[in-house]
Each structure stands twice: as C-alpha cells, then as structure tokens.
A and B are shown apart, each in its own frame.
Chain A
Amino acid sequence: MKAAINAEAAAALIPDGAVCLIGGFMAVGSPRRLIDAMVRRGVKNLTIVANDTAVPGKGIGKLISAGAVSKLIASHIGLNPETQAKMIAGEIDVELVPQGTLIERIRAGGVGLGGVLTQTGLGTLVENGKQIVEVDGRQFLLEKPIRGDFALIGCKQADYYGNLQYSLTAHNFNPIIALAADVVIAEPQHIVPVGVISPDDVKTPGVLVTHLLERAL
C-alpha cells in the first residue's frame, strides 16, 4: 500500500535542475494540481520532456510562464506563444522531436532498449547530426532513448497499490513515461480500494508508481 501525499509534499521532492517527463496533450491528462504546487514552490531550471506546452495558463504552460523551465524536449509548441518567445529570446533551449519519435524514445528509455530506428524525419532537419542505419536495404534514423529523474502523471483513478487507470484521450504520454523515470508521481482524480479497478483496466501497474497524490477533495 502507498501513502497518499499532498501536492506540496510531492512538489518538494522535485529539486531545481531536475529532468521531468510530464504527461498530457494540450493539458488533457496533465497532473494539474502537482504543476500548480511546483509553480508555487518556485522550482527553477527544469528540463521538461512532454508532447507540448499547452497554452499560457494551462497545464505545462504554467511552468513555462513561471520561468521554471530552461530546457524543453517536445513535438509542438505552436499554441503557446510564450514558449516560442522564450525560445527565440534564448531563455529556453527547445529540441523539437516528431511526436511518434518522441514517444518511442521515451519508451526505449523505459524498457531497456538502446534506441529506436525510424524512417520519420529522414531527409529533413530532424536528420541533422544523427546516425543513419541500414537494415535489410532500408534506411532508418537512429533516435536515442530518453529517461527522466521524475515522471509526473495525470490519471483518472488509482487504487491503494498505485495501479492506474486512464480516461479516453487523457492516456497520451502517461502510460509510457511511467516506465522511464527514477521517481514516478501519479495524480489521480479518484483513489479507490484495491480490487475496484479490474486487472484488465490497469494500464500502469502499481509497482511502477513511487508516490500517489491524495485525491482532490
């Protein structure tokens, strides 16, 4: 059984300079109470790995506005003008990665693989500086694994063991990042007794989860 901690206690675990993988797609599925607590704590110099930075005032966009981020690895920042402005001003070092490549690099980091071979990005700017590998006569880009110090997860439901269930399009990066960090913090909307979530509905086994955020009351 895991103890449920509050958002402040969870945010206090994350030091300046940490590498954080964060779930969410345009803030859908992001751990919002935890992000709010990180902003209140004033954490700095984070490296964020996430699909996008939502919009100013929502989800990861709040960390961007607060100046908490110095490096970002993401697939899309087009809907957050603050991220773009900070990138142009040199305040945030941004690495743009195709979405399918980004999720597989994280998966590789989480499941013990040495990288991913993909045709996505061949012949484009994404290819720059990367090794091209030929397999059975076809060319692929070698994309290297990504891991984080922390994975910050938003989910629909957790049980006392930390088994997680997700809702609809709020899955996105969450089940994958749960594999790829030293410390996994999950923010569920509900916490239910063990046995309530059917084994078939568990998408992240509780053995991967380090800390559960107490539910919002």
Chain B
Amino acid sequence: MDAKEVIARRVAQEVKPEMLVNLGIGLPSLVANYLPKDMHVFFQAENGVIGLGPRPPEGMEDPDLTDAGGGFVTAMPGAASIDSAMSFGLIRGGHLDMTVLGGLEVDERGYLANWMVPGKMVPGMGGAMDLVAGAKKVVVAMVHTAKGGHKIVQRCSLPLTATRRVSLIVTELAVIEPTEKGLVLRERGPAVSTEEIVKRTGAKLIIEGDPPEMTLN
C-alpha cells in the first residue's frame, strides 16, 4: 500500500453518515474510494453540485457536469445544482461538515499553507481560503515530508491559507491533532515507531502515553 492510499483510507474514517463533505482535488479525492459501500454521504463540488457521483461511463459525459478540477462527474439521485453564491454560502456559513485538503505546510499553531510558493507557483487560492475559514472540520491530507524536507514545521514559511487552527493532520506516518497546547500525536502509521515520527517531523510533538497504530478503512 503506498503512502497516498494509507492516508486516504485513514481519512475515510473521519467521514460519517449524512455529512456534507468537500474533497479537494488530487490526494483528498481518493478518500471517496474507501467509504463503506452502504454509507450515504453528500459530496459537494464547490463549482456547483451537492451529491457528486463518480465519473460517468465513456461517451456518457455531460459537458455541463464537472467537478472543481474540471473532470467529468455524475450527480447522484437527490443531488442539487447550485450557483457559486449558494455554494460558498454553504462553505462560509458553517453548513459544510468537513473539508479534506492537501497541504504544503502545517505549523505548531495548526495553521495551513497550501496555495502558493512565492516566485515558483502562484495558482491562486480558488476556494481554499473559504474552505479553511468556514468548514466545521478541516482535515489536512498530505504526505509527511516532501523530498526529505519538512512539511510539519514550527512556523509556516509559505503564505498562510487562513489563521484558523485545522482540525486534524493525516499523513502516512501519523495522525496529528493541532490543539491549543500544540500538535498532539494521536496515532502512528502502519509499522511506524514514535521515534521515527519525531525524527521526521519539523515541529514539536506532544506525546501522551503510547499512541496506537492507526486502523485503516
């Protein structure tokens, strides 16, 4: 099992029945693959649908029905199509139960940076700032380090997405909960020791007892 699959399977446990959930593009979108088959969840694509379904069969695509990455999708029975003001009203107004987003850096305050690398990558924030500021629960799904460099750091060096503490960080090595006191190590990745997590984390971790190994969907 590769790192992304471990992360997606663990994040899937955070999804509860009947939640309204927004999955970011890339790694976060994999979470939908690991939910229990009989669980009903409302997925939002912020470009305008609640009740997002899987990719349609070849040749059945509707050019007016895509996800926020521009990929063809379907709408599940009971879906609703909405305009951008309604879509972001749901996000900003606290009606979105959970968002899962990728991350470039998360720091000891629980602040996320995920929208630009000055001088290198300036794609724009899209909906990320609204999602982090407004969702009830913000889960960051990302690999623990990038090319050996730390992504969990004392203070973000990249421009922040919001000054709101995210709810949970899930990597292939650890589940970490940002709290008022700092970053608490809640779970270890499959066959990963606490020492290894500490060694590969660029921020102070609060360790209470012996954190259990994560279980995966």
How many A residues, CB 8 Å from partner? 46
A101 to B, closest residue via Cβ: B130
**A11 in the interface (beta carbon within 8 A):** no
Point out residues on B near A: beta carbons under 8 Å: 45-49, 62-70, 75, 81-85, 88-89, 91-92, 121-130, 133-134, 159-163
Q: How far is the CA of A206 from the CA of B161 in the complex (A)?
A: 39
Instruction: Decide: A124 near B47, CB < 8 A? Known: A96-B125, A169-B65, A169-B66.
Output: no
**A156 in the interface (beta carbon within 8 A):** yes
> Are B123 and A76 in contact, CB atoms less than 8 angstroms apart?
yes
Question: B130 to chain A: which residues have CB within 8 Å?
Answer: 98-101, 120
Question: A118 to chain B: which residues have CB within 8 Å?
Answer: 92, 133
Q: How far is the CA of A172 from the CA of B45 in the complex (A)?
A: 11
B119 to A, closest residue via Cβ: A88
13 other contacts beyond A75-B124, A84-B123, A169-B49, with CB at 8 A cut-off?
Answer: A28-B70, A76-B124, A78-B123, A78-B124, A78-B126, A99-B46, A99-B88, A99-B126, A100-B134, A119-B134, A124-B129, A167-B64, A167-B81
> Are A124 and B70 in contact, CB atoms less than 8 angstroms apart?
no
A-B contact pairs, 29 of them (CB 8 A): A26-B70, A52-B124, A52-B126, A76-B125, A79-B70, A87-B122, A96-B125, A98-B127, A98-B130, A100-B129, A100-B134, A101-B129, A103-B84, A103-B85, A104-B85, A107-B85, A118-B133, A120-B129, A124-B162, A124-B163, A125-B159, A166-B83, A169-B47, A169-B65, A169-B67, A170-B48, A172-B47, A173-B83, A176-B85
Interface of A, helix, strand, loop or mixed by DSSP: mixed
**A49 in the interface (beta carbon within 8 A):** no
> Are A25 and B83 in contact, CB atoms less than 8 angstroms apart?
no
> Are B64 and A122 in contact, CB atoms less than 8 angstroms apart?
no
Q: How far is the CA of A146 from the CA of B83 in the complex (A)?
A: 18
| Chain A nearest CB, measured from B161 CB (Å) | 7
> Are A120 and B85 in contact, CB atoms less than 8 angstroms apart?
no
Q: How far is the CA of A164 from the CA of B99 in the complex (A)?
A: 32
| Chain B nearest CB, measured from A129 CB (Å) | 15
Q: How far is the CA of A123 from the CA of B129 in the complex (A)?
A: 11
Question: B127 to chain A: which residues have CB within 8 Å?
Answer: 75, 98-100
Interface of B, helix, strand, loop or mixed by DSSP: loop
Q: How far is the CA of A76 from the CA of B116 in the complex (A)?
A: 11
Contact of B122 among A25, A84, A104 (CB under 8 A): A84
Question: B134 to chain A: which residues have CB within 8 Å?
Answer: 100, 119-120
Q: How far is the CA of A100 from the CA of B91 in the complex (A)?
A: 8
Q: How far is the CA of A118 from the CA of B126 in the complex (A)?
A: 16
Q: How far is the CA of A175 from the CA of B89 in the complex (A)?
A: 15
**A77 in the interface (beta carbon within 8 A):** yes
Question: B88 to chain A: which residues have CB within 8 Å?
Answer: 99-100, 103-104
Q: How far is the CA of A26 from the CA of B47 in the complex (A)?
A: 9
Q: How far is the CA of A125 from the CA of B128 in the complex (A)?
A: 14
Q: A84, A98, A104, A121: which has the most chain B beta carbons within 10 Å?
A: A98
B111 to A, closest residue via Cβ: A123
Q: How far is the CA of A100 from the CA of B133 in the complex (A)?
A: 11
Q: How far is the CA of A169 from the CA of B91 in the complex (A)?
A: 17
> Are A126 and B83 in contact, CB atoms less than 8 angstroms apart?
no
> Are A28 and B64 in contact, CB atoms less than 8 angstroms apart?
yes
> Are A176 and B129 in contact, CB atoms less than 8 angstroms apart?
no
Question: B47 to chain A: which residues have CB within 8 Å?
Answer: 25-26, 28, 169, 172
Q: B75, B88, B121, B126: which has the most chain A beta carbons within 10 Å?
A: B126
Contact of B129 among A25, A126, A170, A175 (CB under 8 A): A126
